[in-house]
C-alpha cells in the first residue's frame, strides 16, 4: 500500500553513484580551491604589475615626460608576464596530469568527466575556462554559474557545459 501523503520520488540522472567510489567535492572545498587559485594568480601576475606601477610612479613620470618611471613600469609588466607564464605552465602541468588546478591540488579535489573517466586537457581549458569566460561577459552569468552548485549534483553551470564533476582526489 502506497502512502498518498509521501513526497514524490524522482530519479536524478546526473548524480554520481557513491557506490562507485566517487565522492563529490564539498561546496566549501570547491570555494576554497577557487579562492586559492585566485590568490595564487594575483600573487604571480597582479602583484608584480602593481608593484611596478606603484614603485615607478609611472603616471606621474608620464605626466612629466620622464622615461625612467615608465621603464620601471615596463619592468613590472615584464615580471607580470613572466609570472603569468610560470602560473600557466604549472596549471597546465597539473591539469594534464590529473585534472587539477594549483588550488584544487592543494585542496585535494580534481575534475573528471561525469561518467567517471578523466577529463581531457582541451575540455578543461576550452569548455570549463574559455567558453565560461566568454559567457561571463553576459551580465549576471557569473552569479547564475555559481548558484548552480546548490543543486543536488553540486555542479556549477560550467560543469554542465563541460560535462564534468569535481570530486575528492
Q: Which three cell numbers stand for residue 26?
A: 564539498
The per-residue pLDDT for range 103-139, each reduced to its tens digit, is 999 999 999 999 889 999 999 999 999 999 999 999 9
Name the maximum alpha-carbon separation found in the chain: 88
Could you tell me where the DSSP H helices lie in 6-66?
27-41, 47-56, 58-64
pTM of the model: 0.78
Mean pLDDT of 48-59: 74
Which is higher by pLDDT, 23 or 20?
23
Mean pLDDT of 66-94: 83
Q: Is the pLDDT of residue 67 over 70?
A: no
Which is higher by pLDDT, 19 or 154?
154
What's the pLDDT at 155? 94
What's the pLDDT at 19? 46
Enumerate the domain spans of the chain. 22-168
Q: Is the pLDDT of residue 11 over 80?
A: no
Residue closest to 149 by CA, chosen among 109, 116, 89, 99: 109
Q: Is the pLDDT of residue 66 over 80?
A: no
Q: Is the pLDDT of residue 14 over 70?
A: no
What's the pLDDT at 49? 85
Q: Is the pLDDT of residue 165 over 50?
A: yes
For the chain, give the mean pLDDT: 87
Give the separation between CA 88 and CA 101, rounded to whole angstroms: 10
Mean pLDDT of 67-92: 83
pLDDT band, residue 20 (cuts 50/70/90):
low
Give the separation between CA 80 and CA 76, rounded to whole angstroms: 6
Amino acid at each position: 500500500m502506497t502512502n498518498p501523503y509521501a513526497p514524490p520520488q524522482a530519479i536524478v540522472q546526473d548524480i554520481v553513484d557513491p557506490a562507485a567510489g566517487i565522492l563529490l567535492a564539498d561546496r566549501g572545498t570547491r570555494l576554497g580551491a577557487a579562492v586559492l587559485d585566485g590568490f595564487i594568480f594575483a600573487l604571480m601576475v597582479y602583484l608584480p604589475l602593481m608593484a611596478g606601477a606603484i614603485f615607478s610612479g609611472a603616471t606621474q613620470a608620464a605626466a612629466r615626460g620622464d622615461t625612467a618611471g615608465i621603464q620601471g613600469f615596463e619592468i613590472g609588466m615584464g615580471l607580470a608576464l613572466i609570472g603569468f607564464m610560470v602560473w600557466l605552465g604549472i596549471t597546465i602541468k597539473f591539469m594534464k596530469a590529473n585534472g587539477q588546478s594549483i588550488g584544487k591540488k592543494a585542496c585535494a579535489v580534481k575534475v573528471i568527466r561525469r561518467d567517471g573517466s578523466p577529463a581531457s586537457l582541451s575540455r578543461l581549458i576550452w569548455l570549463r575556462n574559455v567558453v565560461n569566460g566568454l559567457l561571463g561577459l553576459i551580465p549576471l552569468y557569473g552569479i547564475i554559474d555559481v548558484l548552480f552548485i546548490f543543486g543536488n549534483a553540486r555542479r556549477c553551470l560550467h560543469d554542465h557545459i563541460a560535462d564534468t564533476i569535481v570530486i575528492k582526489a
